[in-house]
Every structure is written in structure tokens, then in C-alpha cells.
Amino acid sequence: MKVASIEILPMDAQDLITLERLNPHLLEQPLAEGLRLEMDSVGSPRFSPHHARHLWIRLERLYHEELEALVEGLGRDRVAFYTCPETSDVIALGESRIDRWKTFSESSLCPPELRFALNHLLESNATTSFELSLAGGGTFLLDQNPRVAGILNITPDSFSDGGQFIAPQKAIDHGLEMVELGADWIDIGGESSRPGSDPVPAKIQLSRVLPVIEALSDQVDVPLSIDTTSSLVARESLAAGAHIVNDISGLHHDPELATVVASAGASIVLMHMRGTPATMQQDTHYDNLIGEILTGLRTSIRMALTAGVPAHSIIIDPGIGFGKNMDQNFQILSRLSEFRSLGKPILVGPSRKQFIGSSLQRETPDRIHGTAAAVALSVASGAHIVRVHDVSAMKDVARIAAWIRQGQGPVVGVPS
């Protein structure tokens, strides 16, 4: 089992730019890419049926010499490419055995930037366990046993439980209850991010979250995360006892937040979102949904690393429900394993969200079964953390899904 407690491959600024340019990622469902072989395909590719020992890799914005090397290295019948009409970028999809990809990436034929991108991708795909740094000292292991993050919204207007825990003692009691029910960490927020919501001043957020963080940090031994896009809220919350920052903007709202995280020795969740909660559902068009989300997350990762956040302290979240329509949310979940290409632990938050309610015609309180299905398949696809409201039920769902994925149950008498 490969554990990433340091950077998978040492990277400098140019390496980060290379990963953003080429955006290499494994395809779980290659046909979902709509291969478009009729446009500019080299020869007549005869891709073999999907096979466990074969990897489909998508590469974007290839230079001419990189494309030529790819075709020569893998063979004309293993590479398809097309030129994007809107940008003139060359996009290629290659399919071959794992060992052939490795041989090509290590050969003198492979240009340096393409070699780095492929090696980083192959290393990332092989990494399944991560050790996060926590503010205040200590680490938190993420491995094949999924972690459940309990949601603690200290807001009057969150979409699911707004107003229920606005009183500090009620919020503290609920946090303690979630830990008792099996939560592996508690995600605390003082600002609603429901579609259409307006920002909440940092002063108000702090008045809501600080008493709860201070109390829980003295009473529980699980990590606490602060759900905020504000560097001020993050700084004060980490000083009060929080260990992790959960930034739904992926550092686009307040880039200074990354410096705060780095200075505190904390970890950070970087989520993909277009715009703000108030505007995010106004534009849900993507030419390539997964590719564009990956590119956005790579940009956020670069911002964090540049600010000094260690590579092993970054978690990614594809942003279910944030600037995506119902079908796109289902597509993200069906292709969740492709986000392993980033080499970071994956957090998913489908709990009680609108795509479940709209598809099943269920109001918020009745979405637990739909949430359970989304959680189970997320874990089966490699999610390390699921962020949920219904901790006890989703803990059971996540554990069973993980045991099915592993093909074996727990060792009797050993806690999982």
C-alpha cells in the first residue's frame, strides 16, 4: 500500500504549469469522452475493449513534438487525437498496457514535460493512502477505510438544517452526538453555501463558530475543520482549535487563506466551484466536464503549493452541486475514480443535495436513501472522505461499501 506523506514527485513551478497544461488523467469511461475519431485521427485506431491491465489516458494542449512521440511510442493504433475547434488545442487519448505506458515515459523518445506528466499520473494512480498534517500537531491517516465527516452548520439558512444548531450549546451537543455516532471528523461552518445564498461577514461567522470550536476541541479527539472562504475566519478558527480548513472556493475567493493554512501547519480541502454560491448555478455549461474540473483543481493545488502548503496537506473535492446541473452531478459520481489522477485524497459531499431530491422527487428530510446510494458508490470509486448529515447511517453504508470494494470484511474483534 503506497502512502503519500510527502510529495509524490518533487515539483517546481514549471512542473505545476506542465500539469495544468497537459492535465493528464485516467479515463474510467473512455467512451464518455465522445472520442471524435472522425476529426483528425491518426490512421485507424483499433482500441481494444476496456481491460483492467490497460490504461486510457487523456492529455490536453499537446505540443506537436509531444503528439508525434506519443504516436511513435504507443503505436498508431493506440492513439487518437483531435484539434479543439474553439481553442486549436490538440487533445489526445491513448490506450495501452500499464507497462507500455511506463516504458514510453522512461524512454528517450518521450519529451521531458510529457515524461513528468505521465510519471506523476502513474504514481498518483498507485497512491491509495495519505497522511495529513493537522494544525496544532499530529497527523490524520486516510486509507482504504473511508472517513465520515459530520456536517455541523451553525447557520440560520443552510438548505438542510438551517437554524437547528444556531444556538452554541445545541451546536456543541450535536457535534458531540455525531462523534458518539462514529464521525471521524466534524466540519463546522458559519456561512450557508446553498445556491443563491449571500456571503456572511467574517465577524458574524466567527461569532457563530468560535464558541463551538473551542468547546469541541476540548471534548473530542477527532479533527475539526472550519468551512470558510475567509482567511480571517480560518486564522481565528485554527487558533481556537480547528485542524483543517475546508474552502469551497478552491482559494479563488481569498488567496491569502493558503498562507494562513501553511503558517498553521494545517491541511486544506480545495473544492471546485464556478463563481460564488449566489451565482454558481447561472452557468453550468462545460465542454468537457471532468477535464475542466480537473484543470480547475490543478490551479487551486498550484496556488496552495506556491503559498507553502505541503503537498501532503491538500484534499480535493469535485464540488457536487456547486455550479453543476443534475446530470453533471451524476456524471461526476460515475467517474469519481478519475480524480485519483491528481494524487490527492478525495472528499465527496452528496448528502441530501438537490440532485437527489430532483431525481427522486423527495424533499430534504427524505433523501437519506438517495444519499446512501451516492455515498456507497463514492466509496466504491475511491472516495477517502464522505461529508454527511446522517452520520450513523452513512458510517454503516461507507464501511460496507469499502468491504465490498476490498473483497473482504473486517477482522473480527478489530475496530475498523
pLDDT in tens, 289-321: 999 999 999 999 999 999 999 999 999 999 999
Average pLDDT over residues 92-99: 88
472520442: which residue's cell? 35
Whether the per-residue pLDDT at 402 is higher than 50: the answer is yes
What's the confidence (pLDDT) of residue 11? 75
- Chosen CATH of 134-406 out of 3.40.50.300, 3.40.720.10, 3.20.20.20, 3.20.20.70: 3.20.20.20
What's the confidence (pLDDT) of residue 263? 98
Instruction: Give Rg (Cα) of the chain.
Output: 21
Determine whether 46 is an active site residue: no
Residue pair 351/113 in contact (Cβ under 8 Å)? The answer is no
Cα–Cα distance, 125 to 344 (Å, whole number): 10
What's the confidence (pLDDT) of residue 250? 98
What's the confidence (pLDDT) of residue 365? 86
pLDDT in tens, 18-32: 999 999 999 876 655
What's the confidence (pLDDT) of residue 88? 83
Whether the per-residue pLDDT at 129 is higher than 70: the answer is yes
Nearest to 213 by CA among 171, 250, 249: 171
Cα–Cα distance, 305 to 300 (Å, whole number): 9
What's the confidence (pLDDT) of residue 413? 65
Does this model's pTM top 0.75? yes
pLDDT in tens, 329-356: 999 999 999 999 999 999 999 999 999 9
473544492: which residue's cell? 271
What's the confidence (pLDDT) of residue 162? 59
pLDDT in tens, 149-174: 999 999 986 555 557 889 999 999 99
Nearest to 101 by CA among 64, 63, 55, 60: 55
Which residue out of 274, 387, 395, 399 is catalytically annotated?
A: 387
Determine whether 102 is an active site residue: no
What's the confidence (pLDDT) of residue 192? 87
pLDDT in tens, 214-273: 999 999 999 999 999 999 999 999 999 999 999 999 999 999 999 999 999 999 999 999
What's the confidence (pLDDT) of residue 197? 79
Domain boundaries, the chain: 2-128, 134-406
Which residue out of 353, 367, 395, 399 is catalytically annotated?
A: 353
What's the confidence (pLDDT) of residue 82? 85
What's the confidence (pLDDT) of residue 1? 40
Cα–Cα distance, 47 to 83 (Å, whole number): 20
